[in-house]
Chain A
Amino acid sequence: MNEHQQTLWQFMHEQSDKLFAQTLQHVGLTFISLLIAIAIGLPLGILIARKRKLSGTVLGIAGILQTVPSIALLGFMIPVLGIGAKPAIVALLIYALLPIIRNTYTGIIGIDQHVKEAARAMGMSKSQILLKVELPLAIPVILAGIRTAMVINVGVATLASFIAAGGLGEFIFGGISLNNTNMILAGAIPAALLAIILDALLSLIQKMDFKKLRKALYILPVVILILGGFYALPSAYGSTLTAGFTPEFMGRQDGDLGLKSTYGLKIHTIVISDAVMYKAAFSKELDVISGYSTDGRLKAFDLKILKDDKSIFPPYYAAPIVRDETLKQFPQLAETLNLLAGKITDLVMTDLNYRTDYLHQTPERVAKDFLISTGLYKAPKNGHNGVVRIGSKIFGEQYILAEMYSMLIRGNTDYEVSTKTGLGGTKICFDALMNDQIDFYPEYTGTGLLVLLQPDPKIAKEMAHNKDKTYDYVSAEFEKKFKIKWLKPIGFNNSYALMMRQKQSKDLNVNTITDLKNYLDKN
């Protein structure tokens, strides 16, 4: 891959089909959910303006729903609604509700009492008062609510890609995982433009006087409906099985690209985030997923790794990477971090992951138990000789490693520790390191090679199947290019793997990736 030489414009041009589809999906998601939110929020707002006693409860609930973090909300949806459009629309709808209900309510109760009384005195019935007086007068306020809801939705809709509902988030989060700035911008710029343009359009309508407003209000529902229609609900699956791959996996040679070129695998694929992928496989929303070979959720969700019989997923070492500057500033650091070198085997790592992912032990406790059992644990010295900042990516294994390093540093040196865990992707983690916001984090040599260095495909291929060669290569290149050191490997080999549910694998008699390809070709 050579995005570095490619301009954003070239990227967008090259990917224009995808970009167009994603934009339509994005607009569609935003407006379908907006439409439903209006259909629910408007009557609810009217209701609580009539029965004020209910207003506290209804607004309270809507308010609480809105404070639920979007990713968590999406996560809650999966067991109930699965993945794809439905949960995404419901989540967006939930965020859009509060501003619409609240503004309908305040819009109506804010109307001059005398005007309402005049309407009554002239003999209008309750429904006539609502339709001819209250709603028309509340419209500017209600529109402001719809506008807020819409802008929120354009933003939150980027997260829909986490649960395979598409939208511009596919580019944004794919780009973050793949260290591809053009890809991020190709998603982020249209998303921002969408928000700005739609916001400006609605603000125009909002500022119209009553005469023009009346006409605009006839057109608005039609427009919302049409825009909502852009989102054709995902069509019937192309193949009998569905695969869910992370954005990073989609773009890697030791990922989807390799599956296509080496195995010739043709499977209906949707893009989904690592955080919800396993759950989706477990609840049969997905049949095949991309995971890590040491992931504890393998055990937790009763999944089986398909044998990589043409070895496109070479094993890679995990090791902490540290800036040279930092090593100078904290002379004891390298030695301390290396205490863990060679100590954690594949089996051990999988077990540790299992404890956090399945037994729900805290990463801290898992880390401590392990250090105690290997005799590495020392009580904290509570020193004050500078603060070491540890980073980690957003999955279980990285949290555990970060905890172990933190305990080792506290127990063996006079340094203090602060952790910045849960950095959402390789690019975010690496950028944080380069920009001196963290001092080190655990990285994998394969990711270092294919995602961060992105060497000539020939070199990559030559290197990829030898983990020691890879380690030597990335060590040298990182030093040269970034002034970053790879410390000694921790021991376990992490690699990508394809997984299926145990039972399905047995039922279909699919044990290797070649089996999978043959099964798909036949069915």
Chain B
Amino acid sequence: MIELKEISKKFGDTLAINKASFKVEEKETLVLLGTSGCGKTTTLKMINRLIEPDAGQVFINGENITNQDPDILRTGIGYVMQNIGLFPHYNVAENIAVVPKLLKWDKEKIKVRTQELIEKLHLPENSLSMFPHELSGGQQQRVGLARALVTDPSVLLMDEPFGALDNVTRTSIQKEFKGLEELKRKTIVMVTHDVQEAFELADRICLMDKGKIIQIGTPKELLYQPINDFARKFLAGQRLFLEFKVVKMQDIWPYLPKVTLQDGKSLSADMNVWDAMELLRSSDRSELLVSGANKESKAVNFEQLTKGFNQFQNAQVHE
């Protein structure tokens, strides 16, 4: 668990962070979202004391981090950088082994763990002896992630981890990332300026502007209960897409046709509308079989899906 209390930081005359407070629960992913220069990185770096706040406190698992040795604190926190920051003079294996070596792990343990990560992160076997400049951008980012994960820290900080990648690579890595078992048991603070990415990966989003926190909430809350104009406008451009992403089959369950007793493989109602539409579009099926919470199943075609979604939307507005 991470908690920031009234954190402020000035650089000369710029007030980079102004009295920011938030809490990240155990195993939760909080995404700091905002335009460039709004203070996301500064906030993140104060969690592992790369930057010391001028005022306020940071607690990790209830302990004030200013009372801890910064080097020891940092070895216990995974950090993935915007610019990857691999050591150019170390090969991949050595880059991954940096923190274990600081912690004096024995060689065998390092080797086993490295091997495990290489497989999980889909890095080629022969890359272990390669140097960073011999890898593609995506591979470098995977190594950066492996480096942060190797000691299995309970807290992971990530600063625009996919920022340096091209669109195609980014989308596929994001997907893998979401599926990684290792990450599901970590408390994560991630920084991004990309709204879609935030919505894709966040449990909760912390929307920031000019050093201030505007709104903290789930993606759905941000979308349907924006706290002010800024929050509304921030999402306006991609609103429809985000809504498809946020709204799940179970949300529109009441607006879908009656229960059918059809047999076959059914899909979970936890699936979002976007993914359901994708499935209908890409497969030759005209209907999807979805099973709801109370063990009832419904067969849905494209028309029914959009109709149900629209009815759900209207209900939100009139609420």
Give me the interface of A with B, judged by CB distance under 8 Å. Answer: 112, 114-115, 117-125, 128, 133, 136-137, 209-211
Contacts and interface: CB of A to CB of B under 8 A. Distances in A.
12 contacts: A112-B88, A114-B82, A115-B86, A115-B88, A117-B81, A122-B74, A123-B71, A123-B76, A123-B99, A124-B71, A133-B89, A137-B87
B87 A118 contact: yes
Contact of A123 (B73, B87, B90): B73
Interface string B79-95: 10111111111110000
Contacts of A117: 50, 81, 85
B89 A123 contact: no
Contact of A133 (B76, B81, B84, B87): B87
Given A114-B83, A117-B50, A210-B131, A122 B99 contact: yes
B50 A115 contact: no
A210 B256 CA distance: 63
Interface in B242-274: none
B75 interface: yes
4 residue pairs, one from A and one from B, having the closest CB atoms? A118-B85, A123-B75, A123-B74, A114-B83
A137 B89 contact: yes
Contact of B85 (A114, A123, A124, A209): A114
Given A114-B81, A117-B50, A123 B86 contact: no
A121 B88 contact: no
Interface residues of B, number: 25
Contacts of A210: 88-90, 131
A136 B89 contact: yes
Contacts of A118: 79, 81, 85-87
A353 B89 CA distance: 64
Contacts of A209: 131
A124 B79 CA distance: 13
A179 B129 CA distance: 61
A118 B50 CA distance: 10
A122 B78 CA distance: 7
A120 B50 contact: yes
A122 B50 contact: no
Contacts of B81: 114, 117-118, 121
B57 interface: no
A128 B82 CA distance: 23
Nearest to A136: B89
A121 B89 contact: no
A214 to B, nearest CB: 9
A118 B72 CA distance: 15
Contacts of B147: 122
Given A117-B50, A133-B89, 5 more contacts: A120-B74, A121-B79, A122-B74, A122-B147, A136-B89
Given A121-B50, A123-B72, A115 B85 contact: yes
A122 B76 CA distance: 8
A133 B88 CA distance: 9
Contacts of B83: 114
Nearest to B72: A123
B48 A124 contact: no
Contacts of B90: 210
Interface in B135-193: 147
B87 A115 contact: yes
A122 B88 contact: no
B102 A137 contact: no
Contacts of A124: 71, 98, 102
Contacts of B71: 123-125
A231 to B, nearest CB: 34
A114 B90 CA distance: 15
A210 B83 CA distance: 21
Contact of A122 (B82, B84, B91, B98): B98
A211 B134 CA distance: 14
Contacts of A123: 71-76, 99, 102
B118 to A, nearest CB: 19
